[in-house]
């Protein structure tokens, strides 16, 4: 488990991380979301002990990572995939790191196999594509068979097969009772991968909780209904005090829940063909929440829908 309590970090005049607290529990995937400059990478670096906080604590399994006897067995991290010696081969890079923790060559070969680096293991890292560099970074994170996995933009540069592989990797880790904290700007992928989210903006926590609860809070609550007589349904639900909007082939109802709408329709002898309550995607919920926390706002292209 990762526990962050009142964590604060300032660089010059900028408060990069401002008194944030959250947990990433074991047995789940926690998505760590926020705009560029929100403080995500700084927070991850403080969890890893790479940056020292001005205040607060960041612990893994109850204590700072540096206090663990063998940190690589506790946490595996992908923070900067290209932080490798370019003249080394992928296999030698992993062997050097493995030697610092007494990890055998068999494990090196295992992570090479797991990450699909078999064909390039003897090639120098300087010639790697972005995707291959990303796979090597993940292999490095997996080297110590850690109980906690921290990944910053893990699918960056990967093809669709690679994206699916990272998703399955994260889900498998969580299923084994391990902790996964991942940051990504691909909201659709986070929605498929994460159990819960922590959203940060301008260094502050904006929201945290399950993905289902987070998206439910952003839903409009409108219900789309199609019946054998939409005009009649519109009049019936309006008489109940609901707000009604007509589209070309449906009635959109706000202010009444689906069971009551169904009861009114069926009770009036109408055939109910469709009854769907709107839901928000993680991307929609995220964009609404962080609209005021984006450091740089792009203008709307001419002719685009606002």
* Level-2 CATH architecture, domain 2-211: 3-Layer(aba) Sandwich (3.40)
Domain ranges of the chain: 2-211, 220-277
Please report, in tens digits, the pLDDT of each residue of the chain (306 residues total). Answer: 999 999 999 999 999 999 999 999 999 999 999 999 999 999 999 999 999 999 999 999 999 999 999 999 999 999 976 667 888 999 999 999 999 899 999 999 999 999 999 999 999 988 898 889 999 999 999 999 999 999 999 998 889 999 999 999 999 999 999 999 999 999 999 999 999 999 999 999 999 999 999 988 877 778 999 999 999 999 999 999 999 999 989 999 998 999 999 999 999 999 999 998 887 889 989 998 998 876 655 554 554 433
Q: Assign a CATH topology to domain 220-277.
A: Alpha-Beta Plaits (3.30.70)
pTM of the model: 0.81
Edge-first strand listing for the sheet containing 272-277: 243-246, 251-254, 223-227, 272-277
Give the whole-angstrom CA distance, residue 229 versus residue 250.
10
């Amino acid at each position: 488990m990762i526990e962050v309590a009142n964590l604060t970090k300032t660089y010059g005049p900028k408060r990069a991380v401002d008194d944030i607290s959250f947990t990433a529990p074991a047995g789940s995937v926690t998505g760590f979301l926020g705009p560029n400059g929100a403080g995500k990478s700084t927070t991850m670096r403080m969890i890893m002990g790479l940056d020292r906080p001005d205040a607060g604590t960041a612990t893994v399994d109850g204590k700072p990572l540096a206090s663990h006897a063998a940190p690589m067995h506790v946490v595996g991290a992908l923070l900067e995939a290209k932080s490798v010696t370019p003249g080394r081969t992928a296999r030698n890079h992993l062997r050097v790191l493995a030697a610092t923790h007494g990890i055998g060559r068999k494990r090196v070969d295992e992570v090479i196999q797991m990450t699909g680096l078999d064909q390039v293991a003897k090639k120098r890292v300087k010639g790697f594509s972005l995707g291959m560099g990303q796979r090597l970074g993940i292999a490095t994170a997996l080297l110590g068979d850690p109980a906690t996995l921290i990944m910053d933009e893990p699918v960056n540069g990967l093809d669709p097969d690679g994206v699916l592989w990272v998703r399955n990797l994260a889900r498998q880790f969580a299923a084994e009772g391990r902790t996964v904290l991942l940051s990504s700007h691909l909201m659709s992928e986070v929605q498929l991968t994460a159990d819960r989210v922590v959203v940060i903006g301008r260094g502050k926590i904006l929201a945290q909780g399950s993905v289902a609860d987070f998206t439910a809070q952003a839903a409009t609550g409108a219900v789309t209904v199609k019946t054998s007589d939409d005009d009649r349904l519109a009049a019936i639900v309006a008489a109940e005090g609901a707000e009604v909007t007509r589209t070309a082939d449906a009635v959109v109802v706000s202010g009444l829940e689906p069971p009551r709408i169904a009861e009114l329709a069926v009770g009036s002898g109408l055939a109910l063909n469709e009854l769907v309550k709107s839901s928000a995607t993680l991307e929609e919920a995220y964009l609404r929440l962080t609209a005021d926390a984006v450091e740089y706002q792009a203008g709307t292209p001419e002719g685009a829908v606002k």
